[in-house]
Each structure stands twice: as C-alpha cells, then as structure tokens.
Chains A and B, each alone.
Chain A
Amino acid sequence: MRARVHGDRGWGIARVVFLALLTLFTLLPMVWMLLTSMKTQFAASQYPPEWWPRNVTFEQYFILLSPANETGREFLRYMFNSLWVSFATTVLSVMVAVPAAYAFSRFRFPGRNLLFYSVLLRNMFPAVVFLMPLFILMRWLHLVNTELSLILTYLTFGLPLSIWLLKGFYDNIPAQLEQAARIDGATRFQAFIQIVMPLSSPGIIATAIYSFILAWNEYVYALTFLNDKSKLTLPVGLQRFFTEYTTNWPGLMAASFITSVPVVVLFLVLQKYFVRALTEGAVKA
C-alpha cells in the first residue's frame, strides 16, 4: 500500500511540473507581446533584447486608439467593422439555428436525419476550398466589398455546431411542458417563446459566443472579399498595418493585443458556455 501511495505522489509531482511548463509555454509568448508593446521602437530593436522595458511607454496604444491621427482613425474603423460583422453574424446565427435545432429535435419529417448529418458535415469543409466559388458567387451577387458577404459566409461556419448544441438542449426539455402550455391555450409559438427558449438559454449563450469568436477572428474570407480600406476587419487590418509599418514591432504587438482583448474577455467571462459549445457534440453523442 505504501509503495503505491508513494507512486501516486511521484505522479503528482510530475503533474505539477507538466502543468507549470505548459502554462509557461502558453503565457510567455503573450507576455512578450505585452512587454514589447510597451517599449519604444528603438528599445525593441536591441540585441540582446531589453528583457524588461526600461522606459515603459503606452505611446502605441494612444496612437492606435486615438481618433486624432490617421493610424488611430483607421484602426478604430477596423475595430468597428469587426464588431459590426461579428455582432450581426451572432444575432443571425441564433435566429437561424434556434428554429432549425427545434425542428430537428421535435419533428419527424422525412429526410430529417439526412439533412441533419449534411448540416454537420459542414465541419469537415475547409474555408479555402470554398473560397473561389464563393468569390465568384459574391461577385455575381455584387456583394464583393460588402460586410454582407462576410456575414453570410460566417453564418454557415457557426451553424452546424449551433444546431447540434441546441438540438441537445431541446432533446432534454420534455415535450409535455409545451403540451401543458398548449392545453392552457398557448399557441405553439407562444409555448416555444415562453417555455422552451428560457430553458435553452445556456445553449443560446454558448451558440452566440462561439459564433462571435469565429467571426471576430476570421481572416481568409475577409482577406479575399474585401479590398476597400474602409471596410476591412481587424485581422486583415492587422496585416495591412504590418505591411505599412514593417519595423514598428511595438505598434504591431499593441495592435495584436487590442485585437485579442475583446474575445479573451468574452471567453473568460463566459468560459463554461464556450467550453460547452466545443465539447457537447463529441461527448454526449
């Protein structure tokens, strides 16, 4: 018995060491991003590097977030575009996924399984494979260079997972609850809004945050569909910023940091919902 307990303790130490190393691997690149963003351009271009910034400056943040100069105006514009595209995608995703998931859960129409699995298969399809035909399609629809082209496309990224996740919730809500409401005189729609929606709100939050993060971070489609400078979203704006100010690493790190903050905050606050969105399908199935 003692030997085994001892063995377990050995594993315990290995566990702590492993987690510590993994945390360092995860955090150090981001710490270096932050430290660099608070240096002057001169201080960042030193060899060997300044391990700790000697003169901490928030100059880059002021430039990026101030509407008083050209760079700041552009950056704020990108940020606003990203917010708008992500927000619209999120709202539409929920509006489209909720009825679809409800139908897949409650109704037994012909072709239900086939349709459901073809929706799921979307997860298998890569962005770049669809890029060319969608580009041609968007050109034909005169949507190139509009935010709508991105919103439509992003909608389909989040939908399969959202439908899957919400269907799981609806499966777990007893149909008798709705039937009771309907006996009391509620229409099917009222029963849905008043009973099913509140019970599935964790699923809706999970769906929403997942869609938002996907849209906020998307790069390939934004790169291809948009070329008007005033329409760009943050990831493409970041790249543009880099090609314009190649050596301004503190500025680029500050911009990367600002780009990451909204999704990281959203994620940390709603972590359990996001984790649920990602894992639900794989484990419950």
Chain B
Amino acid sequence: MSVSTAAREPNVFARIVRHRADYLYIAPALGVMLLVIGYPIYDTIYLSFFNTPPSLAMADKIFVGTDNYVRILTSEAFLDVTINTLIWTAFSTFFAFALGLGAALALDRQFVGRGLLRGILLIPYVISAVAAAYIWRWLYHSDFGVIGALAVASGITDRPINFLDNVDTSLPSLIVVNVWKEFSFAMIMMLAGLQTVPEQLHRAAQVDGAGVFQRFWHITMPHLKGVTLVTVLLLLVANLNSFTIPWIMTAGGPAGSSDIWITAIYQLAFERIRFGVASAYSVILFVVMMSMGYFYVRALTGKDEATPG
C-alpha cells in the first residue's frame, strides 16, 4: 500500500496479497461495473444462442446454436437496416465533426462574448434528446411545421414538405437533428485540442509567408491528429448507438426507411419480445464496437504516435 513501489516481487500472487488493501478503493467501482456491464455482456452472448419464450420465463428457453445469427445475417431487412445504419453513422459523424471543427477554429481566438457563444452552441448537446426530438418533430410537422412553411414562403416548394412520413426524407431529416444535437461536442473537443498548438509556430510560419490554409494544414492539423481520432471514434460510437432521436421521431419508419441497428434491436426485444434474436443482433453490434474500442484505448493511452505530446 506504499505510494510507489519500485521493488518487484517475484510472484504475482505475493504482490496481490501485499497490495490487498489497495483493491478496497476500487472495489465499489469494480463491483458496480461488473454487475451492470460484466454480467450483461456474458448474458447477451449466452442468450444469443437460445430461442426465448415471449413470457421471458427463461427456464423455458431452447438452445438453437447459431440459428439466431444465421437468421439475422440472411434476412433481407438486415441489409436495408445495415445500409441505413452506415448512412446514419457516416453522415452524422462527418457533418458533426466538420461543423464542430469549423466552430472550434472560428472560436480559437480571444473576442468579447466568446465564452457565451461557446455556451450557447453547447446547449443542444446538454438538453435531453427527448426534448430535442419533440422540438424537431414540431419544426418538421407536416401541416403546421415552421420549416415547411418557410420553404413555401421562400418559394422553394409550393406546399409544406412531409419530412418524417416520407421514405426519401425521413433518414436525412433525422441526421440533421442528430448533427444539431452533437456538433458542439466535436467543437469543444477540437477547441481543447487547439489549445495544444504552440502559438509561436503560427507566428514563425506567418513571418515565413505561410497563408491561413497552409498554416492550418501544416501546423494545426498535425497537432490535432490525436484529438481528432478520439473525437471521431466517440462520435462514431455515439451515432451507432443513438436510440432516442430515431425512436421518438420515427421509430424506424415509415416502412423501415429510418430503421437502424439500435432501433431494430429494441423492436425485436421489447415489442416482439424475442430476446434471443435481439441478443444475437446485439452481439454483432458489440463486435463492431469492440474493434472501435481497441483503437479508442490505443489513442487514449498514447501507444500511437498520433497522440499529441
């Protein structure tokens, strides 16, 4: 329990015993994480090999091997939902990051009201996604929605647009809401990253005649590599897992046009009460997420030279 131990005991068990009191400090955190994370991981994988009864009387479940996986991967809907998921994740991440980076670069300078402006831009990120979803449902409303009315008033269309009940516009409309909600997360991450760029380098480059764009590309960007990686990964994961906005706004509809993995899993589990299939679906998502998790931890722990020094 010493503050730092340089000496190496030969035996790991001896070291564990010697440090036994240390584990008391992390026991509450580990305990709750094991209960709420460790056990669910195990149970999800386990259930994915079973056919579960709708009554959720788990004693009656039937082992079906990999049937659930085969059924999901070969179903026609899976391809459509996967394409939607890719579109949703890729576009949300790209636009949230691009707007966030732009905002960060624009805010990376002292001016009056900078703190206030940063605060205002962050409001969508801190409010409840449920409130955000209802605000936008109202903006998109097919009869009284202000966006449709503005489109008519400015002569873009001759009648209000039905954003959410149309298979062509539902997914893009949701992506706009998602970008609105999360771009400022990318903004503060990149803003924090910009603080690590040495001011002198910019000065020196300016004296040497480098333009704004050259300075951005050759000085700013190399310093932002690490934080960019972490931000993009966190956005990708958040978007792969976003449930509230798609669920409240369209619940996957119309005709599955805005259905993504997460909403499909939720429907399978809690509307059709098929926990087995839904678990298999979760495991697939989980594998994708774990591979991203690998890069996330690598980026955070600096085992990658891309991390800012």
Q: Are A239 and B248 in contact (CB under 8 A)?
A: yes
Residue from A110, A217, A275, A279 in contact with B12 in the complex, judged by beta carbons closer than 8 Å = A110
Smallest beta-carbon distance B56→chain A, Å: 7
Q: A49-B149, A133-B43, A263-B127 are in contact. Are A283 and B120 (CB under 8 A)?
A: no
Q: Are B188 and A278 in contact (CB under 8 A)?
A: yes
Smallest beta-carbon distance B297→chain A, Å: 5
State in angstroms the CA–CA spacing of A11 and B105 once bound together.
11
Q: Are B146 and A260 in contact (CB under 8 A)?
A: no
Q: Are B19 and A110 in contact (CB under 8 A)?
A: yes
Tell me, yes or no, whether A87 is within 8 Å of chain B by CB: no
Residue numbers in A under 8 Å from B285 (CB-CB): 126, 129
Q: Are B302 and A285 in contact (CB under 8 A)?
A: yes
State in angstroms the CA–CA spacing of A236 and B124 once bound together.
19
Tell me, yes or no, whether A29 is within 8 Å of chain B by CB: yes
Total A-B residue contacts, Cβ distance less than 8 Å: 312
Residue of A nearest to B185 (CB): A278
Tell me, yes or no, whether A83 is within 8 Å of chain B by CB: no
Tell me, yes or no, whether B243 is within 8 Å of chain A by CB: yes
Q: Are B241 and A128 in contact (CB under 8 A)?
A: yes
Residues of B218-244 at the interface with A, using a CB-CB cut-off of 8 Å, are 226-227, 230-231, 234, 237, 240-241, 243-244
State in angstroms the CA–CA spacing of A264 and B119 once bound together.
9
Residue numbers in A under 8 Å from B124 (CB-CB): 26, 29-30
Q: Are B144 and A104 in contact (CB under 8 A)?
A: no
Q: Are B119 and A271 in contact (CB under 8 A)?
A: yes
State in angstroms the CA–CA spacing of A53 and B278 once bound together.
47
Interface range, A side: 35 or more
Residue from B5, B128, B289 in contact with A216 in the complex, judged by beta carbons closer than 8 Å = B128
Residues of B241-267 at the interface with A, using a CB-CB cut-off of 8 Å, are 241, 243-244, 248, 262, 265-266
Tell me, yes or no, whether B33 is within 8 Å of chain A by CB: yes
Residues of B96-144 at the interface with A, using a CB-CB cut-off of 8 Å, are 99, 102-103, 105-107, 115, 117-124, 126-131, 134-136, 138-139, 141, 143-144
Q: By DSSP majority rule, is chain A's interface helix, strand, loop, or mixed?
A: helix
Residue numbers in A under 8 Å from B29 (CB-CB): 96-97, 99-100, 119, 159, 163
Chain A residues with CB under 8 Å of chain B are: 4, 7-8, 11, 15, 18-19, 22-23, 25-27, 29-30, 32-33, 36, 44-49, 95-97, 99-100, 102-104, 106-111, 115, 117-134, 136-137, 139, 152-153, 155-156, 159, 163, 175, 178-179, 213, 216-217, 219-220, 224, 234-236, 238-239, 242, 249, 252-253, 256-257, 259-260, 263-264, 267-268, 271, 274-275, 278-279, 281-283, 285
9 further A-B contacts with Cβ under 8 Å, apart from A129-B286, A155-B36, A282-B227, are A44-B144, A103-B25, A107-B3, A107-B19, A152-B36, A156-B32, A219-B130, A252-B134, A267-B126
Chain B residues with CB under 8 Å of chain A are: 1, 3-5, 12, 15-16, 19, 22-26, 28-30, 32-33, 35-37, 39-44, 47, 56, 58, 99, 102-103, 105-107, 115, 117-124, 126-131, 134-136, 138-139, 141, 143-144, 146, 149, 152-153, 160, 180, 184-185, 188-189, 191-193, 195-196, 206, 209, 211-212, 226-227, 230-231, 234, 237, 240-241, 243-244, 248, 262, 265-266, 269-270, 275, 278-279, 282, 285-286, 289-290, 292-293, 296-297, 299-302, 307-308
